[in-house]
Amino acid sequence: MSLYLDHNATTPLRAEVVEAMTAALRDLPGNPSSTHAPGRAARAALEQARAEIAALVGAAAEEIVFTSGGTEGNDLAIRGLLAGVRVARDRRGDGAGRLHAISSAIEHPSVLGALAAGEVDLSLLPLGPEGTLHPETLRAALRPETALVTLALANHELGNIHDVFASASIARDAAALFHADAVQAAGKIAIDVRALGVDALTLSAHKIHGPKGVGAIYLRRAASFAPLTAGGHQERERRAGTENVAGIIGFGVAARLARGELAEAGARIATLRDRLETRLLSIAGARRHGDRTRCLPGTLNLGFPGAPGQMVAAALDLEGVSVSTGSACTSGSLAPSPVLLALGLSPDDASSAIRFGLGRDTTERDIDRVAALVAEIVARVRRRGESGATPSRPAARERIVIAMSGGVDSSTAAALLVDAGYEVIGATLRLYDASGTAASVGGRCCGPRDIEDARATAVKLAIPPHVIDESVAFQ
């Protein structure tokens, strides 16, 4: 029986959302920018969804701008606000000098990526031991040229809830704009953009049982903003491109349902999270990462020293239980979580973390099942790792050579074969470093980084690693 506990990564579509999207795909063929009857029907449905999403966060409908999801939303909000500040400063004749922005090291990669592309001087706020951010440190980091502060309302790995109201007030007093990434928070805790005092806020449909590929930003009226795309007048000229009507309609339904169930679902899920935490902290050495006092109801991040998180997650997957070791946007990496490293954890301790994401369908029975499985698996993985020892083997063992790329799939396969008693030998090809070529966007194709990842995994598994150099033949 499968058990899904990765609701921070994505959530299953609700039946009501599927029904609404199916009807839209069938019955609303028009372009919402067209003035004929089919276009007007599509526009009316889109605007109804916009109103539902606005109601989820206490905004006016016209302040909602549709996007393709959280990553684009964070990029559009951050770089759009910065571009708007630059335009305003140019008009005043004081545009010289580089803008300054403030954030933290535990933000989602899409936030830090947008800031890196925004050509700003960036200050990262210091963190408390559990990843807490104290508003007064923001006051100390402000400069006269500070244009933007961007901090998540709730952290994507730890579940920490930040005091955005206090931080936004401090930013506003210094004439800086404030953006909040609320992708993880929306639909889980109450949000009122007016009360928070933010200038922009990011949402994503698939985190609240809506479809993937649809998101939105709240953009306060009169906030300095300049669009990043040209060629279309959609979304009041703030984001060009024909809207995804069916996806937006699904988003609207998900937002309406989430708003109606917010208090009841949050309390029930928080009780289940506490039950899971109590059970798992009884495992020797287990520790919780994050703030216990201000946290999302369904997020629990725990470390099990001596049991690599990738191995535990893979073993749970074989039992039909879905969890993660961190952000889905970086889950293909074997590197420790940057969020946990920023908390001061060692690479080994950070690599032992598992993130459990509970949802509206999680039951008490599910919690008890996963708690028992985690205890069993952690003990098994630790036994294998003690002093580099491997489990006892049969007298006669079949030898298997496995191609190891350094990625999650081949590493997991090797670990499972070791567990099954096979004599495993790792083999990695050295072809060339494809960095900067069309063959591998991002530069990951049988190059030095892959070989080092594969070798490190082999050492962890106590299997011999071999590198086959085919670089000459591959030229």
Point out the residues that are catalytic: 329
Q: What CA–CA distance (Å, rounded) separates 235 from 80?
A: 14
Half-sphere exposure of 205 (CA within 13 A, CB side): 32
The string of DSSP codes covering 220-255 is -TT-----S--S--HHHHTS-S---HHHHHHHHHHH
- Assign residue 463 a region: left if phi > 0, alpha if psi is -120 to 50, beta otherwise? beta
SS3 160: strand
The CA-CA-CA angle for residues 296, 108, 289, to 5°, reads 45
DSSP assignment string, 316-328 = HHHTTEE-BSS-G
- Integer angstrom CA distances of residue 452 from 214, 332, 456, 458: 37, 15, 6, 10
Which of 454, 453, 449, 447 lies closest to 469, judged by CA?
Answer: 447
Q: What are 324's two structure tokens?
A: 């993660």
Q: Is residue 110 a contact partner of residue 74, using CB atoms and an 8 Å limit?
A: yes
Look at residue 102 and give its three-state secondary structure. strand
- Candidates 104, 111, 112; CA nearest to 70 is 111
C-beta of residue 197 within 8 angstroms of C-beta of residue 57:
no
Comparing CA positions, the residue from 424, 473, 425, 429 lying closest to residue 451 is 429
What is the chain's length?
475
Query: Starting at the edge strand that comes first in sequence, how are the strands of the sheet with 287-289 ordered?
Result: 287-289, 299-303, 353-357
**Token output for 271:** 């009780």
